[in-house]
Structure 1
């Protein structure tokens, strides 16, 4: 059995990680830590996690986290580096925050206000890479893994196959994506009150300023083998979970609709969690709620000369905690899908 501690276990990402770990057949759940909720009973914060209801959150310290096979960090951005530095190489550390996702220091300092901490193995196994291979290649046996952001997961899985196959161009990529409110975390924010969100969609992070922009560009450049610049507009939808990403890009000269679809089919035909839907069926967040699965559809708008690719994920599952467990499996040598094969919840 693999012993796993979760730091930041009182938040949405930490609670979702515990939901997956509770059903993992090869895991024992060790120390659970929190910030302001340290000393609180877990059942009072996550009443749905019945198997852990009587556990009490510890303070987040290296001493509490030490001695586990895996430490999963679900901390606010900028807080993971100090904790990880205090843990030895004998511990696998998986970070759900942004601290180690970006390979470019300048990209980090342009979008974040904490010192650059470096980069770790990037935890998106299904990411198609230029020249062949996938993101999975860097994850087997990794001791430090950075879990992707939720928007970058959806957008990268939507667009990477076309860029890796050369069937779409890199110079005019446009993304509009809608997220549920849990993506903003569990802290109380006036603009996320039910009375503000229900019955209304809104924009935020408009004009290239959302922090996931450089991560999206990094992933798409890895797929294309050359720089990719994106126009990314996030929106807030009146739902607790889910991301629906609608992405468009110019089709390369001479490429047919058949070649477009074949690029996505070739990338995902052997994947467990990414599903290219039948033509005419489009992704919806309801298809994937509560699951580690991703639904994708692509079509060629011949009149505009563009592909339209849509991907749906659960932002807390494949977008965060499910991905963390998938990376955990790869890092410790377990079958990648262990504990993750559950279906979504409907209605």
Structure 2
């Protein structure tokens, strides 16, 4: 059995990782850790994890995490880098934060305002890269993996095939709605039920959202040239889910049939990315609790733009499911092990 520790187990991402690991036949769950919640029973923070409710949250230290084969870091941005350096080289470390996602140190400095910690293998297996390959090749046996952000997972899977096929020509505009769990579990006045119920609101407007350079990095890898992105996130009155509307200019004469063919080639063999039949459109309800991403594509031929809609559960495929998928690839397990392909309804 592979022993696994989860740092940040009291939060949404850590809880979702544990939900999936409970059903993983190759994994033994070891230490579960937290910061201010250390000493509490896990059940006080994650009462839905019935098999683990009696576990006691331990402090998040290198000593607590030592001795495990795999360590998941579900920590705030900026907290993973110093802890990761204290873990043994032979440990597989899977970081759900942003610390190691970006390759460009200047972009990190601009959007995060601190020293760049380095770059790890990027954990989005289905990402199409220039030349027709996929990011999956970089994850088999990897010891250090950076799990993508939730918005970049949806947006990158939505647009990368068009760029890799030479059908998209830049001028990328993305507007995406996320459930409130994407902001984490810390108490924030604007996330109170009285503030968020029955209301949608934008944030990070004007190019300031920290996921922007990550999306640009992924689409640039797919196209082989620098791609800039206008990204506007919005907060939706739902606990989980992302619906991303992604558009880009296309070469003159590009048709919906050509674009659909490129997406079929990219995703027909993928377990967790589904190109929907023509006439069907993604919804967050259809992917709730699953590791799936639903995608639909069309071309607005009048204005020459490709339109791709993608839906995912931000806590599953957008965070924890992506992390467990990376665990499976890194340790040589079957890639879909312990990952649900069936959602929850209603």
Structure-2-length-normalised TM-score: 0.99
The alignment of Structure 1 onto Structure 2 pairs a total of residues equal to 346
Match of 1:194 in 2: 193
In structure 1, C-alpha distance between the alignment counterparts of 2:271 and 2:115, rounded to whole Å:
37
TM-fit CA distance, 1:245 = 0.1
Q: Which runs of no fewer than 5 residues in structure 2 stay unpaired?
A: none
> Partner of 1:93: helix, strand, or coil?
strand
Q: Give the whole-Å Cα distance in 2 for the aligned partners of 1:290 and 1:181.
A: 15
Q: Distance in 2 between matches of 1:284 and 1:308?
A: 15
Aligned pairs for 1:90-169 (under 5 A) are: 90-169=90-169
Measure the CA separation in 2 of the matches of 1:101 and 1:86: 19
Distance in 2 between the 1:341 and 1:25 partners?
Answer: 14
Counterpart in the other structure of 2:18:
18
| Cross-structure match for 1:294 | 293
Instruction: Indicate the residue corresponding to 2:41 in structure 1.
Output: 41
Partners of 2:277 and 2:289 in 1: how far apart?
22
**In structure 1, C-alpha distance between the alignment counterparts of 2:42 and 2:342, rounded to whole Å:** 26
1:259-310 residue CA offsets vs partner (Å, 9 max, x unmatched)? 1110111100100000000001000000101010000000011111111100
| Equivalent in the alignment of 1:328 | 327
How far apart are residue 82 of structure 1 and its match?
A: 1.0
**How far, CA to CA, are the matches of 1:193 and 1:295 in structure 2?**
29
The aligned residue for residue 211 of structure 2 is: 212
Cα distance in 2 between the residues matched to 1:253 and 1:58? 59
Secondary structure in 1 aligned to 2:3?
strand
Write out the 4+ residue segments of structure 1 that deviate beyond 3 Å after TM superposition.
Answer: none
Question: Residues 164-185 of structure 1, C-alpha deviation per residue, up to 9 Å, x if partnerless?
Answer: 0001112x10000000000000
| CA contact 2:71–2:93 (8 Å) conserved in 1 | yes
* 1:241 and 2:235 are equivalent in the alignment: no
C-alpha displacement at 1:220, in angstroms? Answer: 0.4
Residue 254 of structure 1, CA deviation: 3.2
**In 2, Cα distance between the equivalents of 1:272 and 1:11?**
28
Q: Could you tell me how far 1:39 is from its partner in structure 2?
A: 0.4
- Which residue pairs with 2:51 in the alignment? 51
More deviation, 305-314/249-258: 249-258
State the superposition RMSD in angstroms: 0.7
1:227-277, CA deviations, whole angstroms, 9 ceiling, x for partnerless residues?
000100000000000000001111113322211110111100100000000
* Contact 2:252-2:304 within 8 A present in 1 as well: no
Instruction: Show CA shifts across 1:103-137 (max 9, x none).
Output: 00000000003321000000000000011210101
SS at match of 1:108: helix
> Separation in 2 of the partners of 1:290 and 1:325?
14
Shift of 1:4: 0.5
The aligned counterpart of 2:3 is 3
State the match for 1:74 in structure 2.
Answer: 74
Residue aligning to 1:307 = 306
Q: Are residues 342 and 270 of structure 1, via their aligned partners in 2, closer, same or farther at CA, if it must alter by over 3 Å?
A: closer
Q: Label 1:274 to 1:153 Cα distance change in 2 as closer, same or farther (>3 A).
A: same
Q: What is the DSSP-based 3-state SS (H/G/I as helix, E as strand, rest coil) of the residue aligned with 1:271?
A: coil
Structure 1 gap ranges (5+):
none
1:342 deviates by: 4.1
TM-score normalised by L of structure 1: 0.99
